Structure 1
């Protein structure tokens, strides 16, 4: 097991370095002058511009900048923005909103995805199955920003059921509609995955044996079929939590929620490269940690995976 964990850990370190390098390269090679934009329409003196660039190490070669940033991350320092505020402090103020939104979307994805997937499997090739599959395909096909604007207009502005923006009404009312939009695509994917896994489990020999023993149908479905069918589903939803955290950029922007996604969105517009890279790095770390936990769970559940 130790060899398995070391191998997975080394893979994640390489992935982390490669991904953060690409993010850092993409952000700091964008056109424009973020230091020059700090003064707005006024022109800063060349000496002042040079001093600010030197303060933030923007006059150094790219590899030296990236090495300095990576060393800071190892020590828990994600740098500061161009106004001198710590990136960690900026994220700390925003994480509670994003975590509330992502956790509610995750719960929405699990409850509705697994529930509708079970119904579709039990009603295979019937009207209920076809309806659920059609709805899942439709949800997957709709871009997130289109679904967000449509839900905001129909259920917020016209129907007046949910708040249309901000988090003034607190949890859970301010988060219900954006969480449903955020978790809709994942719920559709979980529905289809649960359906296929349940159909495969219901056709297994142990299910036929349980039916032959005249066990109650509810017990056959829940205790035997569902327990085996949920293994790939649990893997998907565990990793999808990282995607949900990263996908909050669009939803928080549309619903004006002051979370990590909105911070990333505004930082991109203001060319705050250190904030963009810092937020992206934290999201990468969360995703890699979830991936490692799933790998450890697989290794514990099935020893054969440890030798792969």
Structure 2
């Protein structure tokens, strides 16, 4: 399997045609066709279904594309770093975080670091919690910020934070007039919530069940994998959301109001780095800046990393009001 074959395959996937891929890579159409066919012959299955000049990725093509993009991205990064080393440039900070932490925590923390050290190159990717963990474990990034659970072999967890979830409502919603929103009132509404059943969603389902939300009403849920998406859906008037407060802090809340809930629904999050890699001075400074920034959040509580399992168990305990 050659690099040129993977580049041709990825280019066809991105542009949707052999013609577009040829223009993108400055190669002839026959050359792109040949490279893709050689790759298909080597792996033993078709990557595209062909209909004249149009091509449609097969299911196997979609699956392989994710891996090919990851490999090509790594190779591009090696090339970029080689050029940076030749120029004597500082190594950029490579970071990964969930959407909530990307908008609500990292920008302020990075600003704090740069006020002390000056500007430096930064690469920040937003990903699901599982992909943040994978990026740190694989060494693709130097630091990750994500919701719990984060206890994996090969990770160094530096601290755990806890904040209470809030209700996000359209400003003209009747509940917006309340200083504190009853969970029981939210249980009767159409909810916009996270789709991952193993993190905040699990806790939310439990407290809503205790608040009397009938199982039959779950068909009205709107599920998303991004807190930014949830905020946009609330703004459109499609429902109300129960979210961590970080998204509301970091993203525009025009047309929305944020209210505390009469029931504490904890959101746990932490900062991780590769266990096998010693902390550089910039990464150490960012770990500390993230904690300092998180400490300014309303109701923030810092936990020792040794409490990881206990905190996850406590999230299943009876509700605290």
TM (normalized to structure 1)? 0.25
More helix by share: 1
Higher normalized contact order (CA 8 Å, seq sep 6+, divided by chain length): 1
